[in-house]
C-alpha cells in the first residue's frame, strides 16, 4: 500500500487495493516517508475509512488539528460504545468526539470547568449511554492524566445519542429538555412519580425521543390516520387521553407543532401503560 499524503510522522493517507483512500495511524508510521513510498504495515495501529466522502474530508482536516492521542482514544471509546450499546453510530462521531475530547482536555488543563446544565436529565433519560460515557471519561483521565468528572460524562453521552439519532448536539439538547417537560406534565397529571426503571417508562421515553426528533428536525409523520381507532382510544382510556390533550396543548403552545391523531393515539397508549402500572 503506497502513501498518497503524509499528514505528520504518525498519520498517512494511503490508497488501498480497491483504489480507495484509507487513513492509517501509528507511531512513527510516516516518519521520513513521502508520497509514493510503501507503508510499513508493522507500524499500523488504526485504520479509518469513512463511507461519507464529505465526512472523510472533514476527518482529514481534523487530523491536522488534534493530537493522535485524541484520535486514538476517541476510536477506542467509539468501539466501546458500539460494543456495549449494541447500536449503529453515525460516522459523524469520528469527527465530533475526538474534537470534543481535545477541547475538553485543553480546558481542564487550564483549570476551566464547564458544568453540564442537563446532567440530571441525561443520567435519567440516557442511562446506558451515560454509563458507557463514564467509562469513556475514565479512559480519557488515565490517558491524559486529567480529572474530568460526571459533567463531562454527560457531554460524551450526548455524542453517543447524537450519533444514534443522527441529529446535531443542539437538537439533542432540545430533545432532552422536551422529554423532561412532557414527563413532568404526565407525572403531575397522574399524581405519581414515574418509575423510570420500569419497562413501560422505558418504552414511553424511547417513544418521546423519536417523537421529539421529528419535531425538531421538521420531519413529518406520514402514518395514515385512523379516526375509528382514535375514537376507541379516546373512550376506552379517558384519563390517559385527557392527559394527552394537555401534552398536545403544551406542544402546540411552546413548539408550534400540531400533533396528529395517530401521534395522540400512541401517546395515550403509553400513558395508559404508566397508569396501569401504578394501579
pLDDT digits (tens, 9 = 90+) for 58-100: 888 888 888 888 988 999 999 999 999 998 888 888 888 998 9
Q: Is residue 63 part of a domain?
A: no
Cell of 279: 394501579
What's residue 221's pLDDT?
A: 54
Residues 112 and 131: their CA atoms lie apart, in Å, by 24
H or E segment and range at residue 3: strand 2-8
Dist. CA 271–CA 85, nearest whole Å: 26
Q: How confident is the model at residue 224 (pLDDT cuts 50, 70, 90)?
A: low
Is position 57 within any domain?
no
pLDDT at 137 over 90: yes
166, 182, 215 - which closes a domain: 166
Residue 22 is part of a domain; what is its CATH number?
2.30.24.10
**Do the beta carbons of residue 13 and residue 3 sit within 8 Å?**
yes
User: How far is Cα 270 from Cα 244, in angstroms, rounded to an integer?
Assistant: 10
3-state SS string for 138-191: HHHHHHHCCCCCHHHHHHHHHHHHHHHHCCCHHHHHHHHHHHHHHHHHHHHHHC
Task: Single out the residue of 198, 215, 227, 195 nearest to residue 258, CA to CA.
Answer: 215
Domain count, the chain: 3
How confident is the model at residue 246, as a pLDDT?
96
Distance in angstroms (rounded) separating the CA atoms of residues 194 and 43 = 53
pLDDT at residue number 112: 81
In a domain, 232, yes or no: yes
CATH code where residue 259 lies: 1.10.1790.10
pLDDT at 205 over 90: no
**For residue 222, pLDDT beyond 60:** no
The domain containing residue 268 runs over which residues?
174-278
CA distance 188 to 274: 13
Q: Is position 84 within any domain?
A: yes
Assess whether 200 and 147 both reside in one domain.
no
Residue, of 68 and 220, whose pLDDT is higher: 68
- pLDDT confidence band for 115 (50 / 70 / 90): confident
Q: pTM to 2 decimals?
A: 0.66
Of 114, 136, 166, the residue that ends a domain is: 166
Amino acid at each position: 500500500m503506497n502513501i498518497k499524503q503524509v499528514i505528520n510522522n504518525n498519520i498517512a493517507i494511503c490508497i488501498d487495493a480497491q483504489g480507495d483512500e484509507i487513513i492509517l495511524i501509528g507511531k512513527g508510521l510516516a516518519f521520513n516517508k513521502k508520497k509514493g513510498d510503501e507503508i510499513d504495515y508493522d507500524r499500523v495501529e488504526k485504520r479509518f475509512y469513512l463511507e461519507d466522502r464529505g465526512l472523510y474530508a472533514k476527518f482529514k482536516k481534523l487530523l491536522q488539528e488534534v493530537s493522535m492521542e485524541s484520535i486514538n482514544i476517541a476510536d477506542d471509546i467509539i468501539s466501546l460504545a458500539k460494543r456495549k450499546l449494541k447500536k449503529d453510530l453515525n460516522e459523524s462521531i469520528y469527527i465530533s468526539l475526538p474534537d470534543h475530547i481535545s477541547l475538553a482536555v485543553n480546558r481542564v488543563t487550564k483549570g476551566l470547568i464547564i458544568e453540564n446544565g442537563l446532567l440530571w436529565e441525561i443520567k435519567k433519560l440516557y442511562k446506558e449511554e451515560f454509563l458507557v460515557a463514564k467509562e469513556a471519561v475514565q479512559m480519557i483521565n488515565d490517558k491524559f492524566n486529567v480529572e474530568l468528572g460526571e459533567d463531562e460524562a454527560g457531554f460524551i453521552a450526548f455524542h453517543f445519542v447524537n450519533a444514534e439519532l443522527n441529529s446535531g448536539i443542539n437538537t439533542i439538547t432540545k430533545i432532552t429538555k422536551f422529554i423532561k417537560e412532557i414527563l413532568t406534565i404526565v407525572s403531575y397529571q397522574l399524581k405519581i412519580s414515574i418509575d423510570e426503571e420500569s419497562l413501560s417508562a422505558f418504552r414511553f421515553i424511547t417513544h418521546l425521543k423519536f417523537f421529539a426528533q421529528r419535531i425538531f428536525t421538521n420531519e413529518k409523520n406520514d402514518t395514515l390516520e385512523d379516526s375509528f381507532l382514535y375514537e376507541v382510544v379516546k373512550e376506552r382510556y379517558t384519563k390517559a387521553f385527557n392527559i394527552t390533550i394537555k401534552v398536545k396543548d403544551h406542544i402546540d403552545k411552546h413548539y408550534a407543532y400540531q400533533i396528529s391523531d395517530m401521534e395522540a393515539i400512541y401517546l395515550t397508549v403509553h400513558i395508559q401503560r404508566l397508569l396501569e402500572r401504578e394501579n
